[in-house]
Structure 1
């Protein structure tokens, strides 16, 4: 197996039927049947089309991180794993091990990074983006239960709506089979320990699984040594996850499922008064009905209740002392449903597979903030509460038209409507005065088309192209909640409009009989009214619709299976993210988008021989970038090396070791008032129990 599968290079699993190729030029190409538990069979992906498809045939560029690579990755957290894809990044360079979720928004292909995610993150089709801020709680997604990660780094609103402006990342769970037990325990420097376990069992037509993950770490001092003061310490954190799932085959055609989970995370940002905490409970239920004559119907219901708490500090200039500056309590909840239909294959001048569906979601939350001014004046703000509700819904229709095994066309169209209502801000002054501002209810709508093409003139060459329109509605967080990082205060803006994107991509993929697969994809995006943090004259910032940004670039990668034991991957992404229009802020025109490096690359070399050892060496390179929109706070590029190795010790027990940042490379992660550092060397060793019995 190659180091990283991508659309077109997954091998056929042993015992599975081969994927149809251009050799059967006149043959009809059916959609593969789902697996026994209602999930796609091996060798398929679901994210690019919301249907199980052979990954060679998906018109959209799709990258897959398979389970084998997930297991041998040197990375500890899920966000660090996803960032090994050069086209994927979180807002700042710090991992979720030391940064709370407000700095963990995911962006793909450099599409205007910020704390909020501009890409949708799914777990088995269910959105996991935070309902209030669009953040991603990466540590709530245990690695032991994952089968693969699928990444579609282009506008996905035509199928998924608002949150998919920049693409979709889907984490796909392992199928529930049993009886089986997997477990892992690790310990490393920085007092970092992890315990994970997953058990699954089958009781006739009923299948059940239970998984847990516990992680604790002392973290590291994140402030650079030259600015560090008496108050600066390490960044301890811990989290706990418990997830359960039950699937039941009611009949040969009907499958029911239910799942629920709990998550708690505690973090310290490096000083006594800089803290964050998350409590989250989520649930989901689904049904899948397959009929030969009328197609397949799928219904998913989901929801969550959560609370995010964050404490901020007021720090002396020499960082010798601190005082509590503010405490925010952000309770939020959401509920949603998704109903989808897939038609049987129909032959009209080729093979058509139609799909249609609707999604609806309600999101509500409030930011309750208590401030502690050092010398309160009558006009000083002591309490600030702001929040509201957002309702959204969308309808989509898609046609996958296989003209022949050599040519497939796709067309999708979606209409979304969303409404912000009950928005309100309440401010209490030290004098006792209370000011309440009710924000006007607002409704917007968006029509999102997407056209795609997949051409395979010969079996070893695939051409893909697509054009799309996408959007992202502002989150409740952006509309109502102010925040502060370091000494920089950023205000909310209840008048924000949706971001809108026009884009296109085109690429080629070539496979060699020598085990070499090469891919090149060019992309071009124009983002209108991007929501960015704009620096004001008084030095503070405010969220504003900036004007227009152009994000264009190229992705390249080479997978090479050098031999049965050796595989190599080289991947590089170049992005040119430029502000092209900024009404009221002309000095921003021509500037590079903040937190957006132009160059990112990854090189991975793996040796895999179970009788000897499985070892991976990974090089990650990131180019220079800017902290701010004015391009005044630069951060240099860096390169780090990660390694991992594992070997069977006895029975079903493996021993393994991993090191991130092997050479302890020091680099900047942020410059928001103070300069902060990326992770130092993190080494750990452990044991892994595989699939007992």
Structure 2
């Protein structure tokens, strides 16, 4: 797919004739806007011509609206923070099959390991932005129309629970976001925003190698003041042999997986000023890690509801509520060195749930030395879960541990205030301040031994707080040049998973730590963006982050009695600095060229008690990542995209002893209209079947090999337009 570099002021390389950026259809109705951590509402539509992804006229870049950077709808070119957008048309052209693979096409975005969610369970799929200390726990917040997607117990992301068919765009803000969003947004925010509800029937069907089958469908309609949308998706795959041939034993096989997800959404325009919405969904996933006893499954159900009231004199009020219940189960294996025999080492169940709510006020515009838009909000969340383990030790004595149960609850909440101050058309300032507090309570550990004895440990409740300021500026001295800069402080409280749940990857055991404190980040970014003739756009952004007390899996000098060799610890300090480069160019209507490069220098600067770590590169964090893509789009003929993704060398471990080489991967996508609103397509990932490592945790594992699929698409309704009364769209 073309790399989606809609950064800052320029959403896409411009059409040389019309001045419009190609291939981003404007929504036919309102845009889903996050009210807070759990609600969404529609805002006024963009006043522009709608275009299907076929090269027809599109809205000028000035009218495009994004919401994630300021929690308010703002023109993309005016937001004071770097914002990258993957528009609907680029999702349509992407050869990727899952959302994590799609997001990873941005050089500044990555998941913990190079393996996709197609073959890796969610505990290895934490999001990180700009190389900010990757781990299984996400250091970035993922939202679906304002609903937090990060797991309430572990902070990781169920990427396959996020269907793509109903999305309008993905907004990525790769900079500290705690001032607006609290703990989970330490390194930034990725928000998936749904298409507005209107008469539409969409469907995808594809098959491919590796036993891959995929089907998705979405139907939506609107009856005056009521809109309803239903969406479902299913995927099955045989995966691939993830262990390299030279290390493979008789126990190693393919990595089959499957999932099904469904969601429903209802929107009601109760009055001209009151808008109500509700949505819910279900997700089921099963995975096999390549052996009989490395399996995992997820069951997840969720809901969200919101009310939005617009008043004439006092502004807009938004109330949001959400909740989720889920069950994650995982088997672990004990494997002989030759990998010819395995035995189950543990069976772990992790039930969890969370509930939350928010109230956000956006005031009317004020005039005082310029224009001010004030916003303030309060939100709260309760997360609870347990990890129930049944152990199968290789040898048994009277004191052998055979069962372990840990549990805990976390209460958190925050209040924020923001002022968007437009001094003039050339200068805008944004000041944000947020206070968060959280309390860990009901923490306990119960250990049962073979002789029938049990030991119970209760952990003391702990309370902490954090102040998160952010100051940003956007300067446009001339229309073609935009300068942005910001300074910020952010944080992330440890999850229940980090506090209480031990885990295993390969043969490596890692212990939890109930004494963990919060990670804290100081950072700054500054960049320039210039728009030239014939749609040529260039961007340079530098960033510098200092992460204090990051939660890290630290190698212990002496293993624990149960053989554990690592433990989660707050490890001193790390410095993560770097630069992002990008260029977009559309030399002709049919052609688009996109290029981007991210350099990250992630180094441990302080490590009390672990002097060997100072100066080491953070694990799972390559210094170099880049993308180059070329798209040809002629609707009467075909649409084709060729993409090159490059990732540099990185290390598996904190001591930098297990290195993994870099790789260059080529992907392709081709589609052609057949009849009516049906098109055929073909997608290929890793065209040249490049072999490269994804992990080295006890045993080496491979990243995905050559993957290809062909399919059919039905798109009916993309060009429909509705009046505001039909859409139920509140207008600011």
**TM-score interval w.r.t. the shorter chain?**
over 0.9
1:174 is displaced (CA, Å) by 0.6
| Matching residue of 1:629 | 654
| Matching residue of 2:10 | 9
CA contact (8 A) 1:367 1:385 kept: yes
CA contact (8 A) 1:177 1:207 kept: yes
1:34 is displaced (CA, Å) by 6.1
CA contact (8 A) 2:583 2:594 kept: yes
Q: Does 1:223 align with 2:227?
A: no
| Matching residue of 1:494 | 514
| Matching residue of 1:594 | 619
| Matching residue of 2:141 | 120
Q: Does 1:38 align with 2:42?
A: yes
Match of 1:223, SS state, is: coil
Inter-partner Cα distance in structure 2 for 1:645 and 1:192 = 18
Q: 2:277 aligns with which of 253, 257, 264?
A: 257
Inter-partner Cα distance in structure 1 for 2:475 and 2:269 = 38
How far does the alpha carbon of each residue in 1:471-524 deviate from its partner, in whole angstroms, 9 at most, with x for none?
A: 000000000000001110000000000000000000000001221111100000
Residue 591 to residue 689, structure 1, CA distance change in 2 (3 Å): same
How far does the alpha carbon of each residue in 1:510-548 deviate from its partner, in whole angstroms, 9 at most, with x for none?
A: 001221111100000000000000000235000000000
Q: TM-score scaled to structure 1, two decimals?
A: 0.96
CA contact (8 A) 2:13 2:585 kept: no
Inter-partner Cα distance in structure 2 for 1:184 and 1:611 = 21
| Matching residue of 2:52 | none
CA contact (8 A) 2:4 2:85 kept: no
| Matching residue of 2:218 | 198
How far does the alpha carbon of each residue in 1:112-158 deviate from its partner, in whole angstroms, 9 at most, with x for none?
A: 00000000000001101000000100000001011000000000000
| Matching residue of 2:643 | 618
How far does the alpha carbon of each residue in 1:7-63 deviate from its partner, in whole angstroms, 9 at most, with x for none?
A: 21137999xxx99xxxxxxxxxxxxx9669723534100000000000000001100
How far does the alpha carbon of each residue in 1:348-374 deviate from its partner, in whole angstroms, 9 at most, with x for none?
A: 011000000011100000000000012
| Matching residue of 1:101 | 122
Match of 1:6, SS state, is: coil
| Matching residue of 2:37 | none
CA contact (8 A) 1:427 1:435 kept: yes
| Matching residue of 2:684 | 659
- The correspondence of residues 178-577 of structure 1 with structure 2, limited to 5 A, is 178=199, 180-538=200-558, 540-577=565-602
Instruction: Tell me the number of residue pairs that the alignment of Structure 1 and Structure 2 aligns.
Output: 677
Match of 1:494, SS state, is: coil
Residue 681 to residue 199, structure 1, CA distance change in 2 (3 Å): same
Inter-partner Cα distance in structure 1 for 2:698 and 2:415 = 44
How far does the alpha carbon of each residue in 1:205-256 deviate from its partner, in whole angstroms, 9 at most, with x for none?
A: 0000000000000000000111000000000000000100000000111100
Match of 2:184, SS state, is: helix
CA contact (8 A) 1:3 1:606 kept: no
Inter-partner Cα distance in structure 1 for 2:148 and 2:43 = 17
Q: Does 1:59 align with 2:60?
A: no
Inter-partner Cα distance in structure 1 for 2:615 and 2:344 = 39
- Range with bigger deviation, 248-257 or 3-12: 3-12
How far does the alpha carbon of each residue in 1:64-84 deviate from its partner, in whole angstroms, 9 at most, with x for none?
A: 000010110111110000000
CA contact (8 A) 1:3 1:559 kept: no
1:378 is displaced (CA, Å) by 1.2
- Range with bigger deviation, 404-413 or 531-540: 531-540
CA contact (8 A) 2:418 2:431 kept: yes
CA contact (8 A) 1:7 1:64 kept: no
CA contact (8 A) 2:3 2:627 kept: no
Match of 1:99, SS state, is: coil
CA contact (8 A) 2:3 2:628 kept: no
CA contact (8 A) 1:4 1:66 kept: no
CA contact (8 A) 2:625 2:647 kept: yes
Match of 2:497, SS state, is: helix
Inter-partner Cα distance in structure 1 for 2:557 and 2:133 = 22
Inter-partner Cα distance in structure 2 for 1:40 and 1:433 = 64
1:386 is displaced (CA, Å) by 0.4
Residue 289 to residue 433, structure 1, CA distance change in 2 (3 Å): same
| Matching residue of 1:29 | none
1:431 is displaced (CA, Å) by 1.0
Q: Does 1:146 align with 2:167?
A: yes
Q: TM-score scaled to structure 2, two decimals?
A: 0.91
CA contact (8 A) 1:451 1:466 kept: yes
1:203 is displaced (CA, Å) by 1.5
Match of 2:533, SS state, is: coil
1:290 is displaced (CA, Å) by 1.2
1:3 is displaced (CA, Å) by 5.3
Inter-partner Cα distance in structure 2 for 1:412 and 1:650 = 52
Inter-partner Cα distance in structure 2 for 1:59 and 1:40 = 21
Inter-partner Cα distance in structure 2 for 1:663 and 1:142 = 28
Q: What RMSD, in angstroms, separates the aligned Cα atoms of the two structures?
A: 1.7
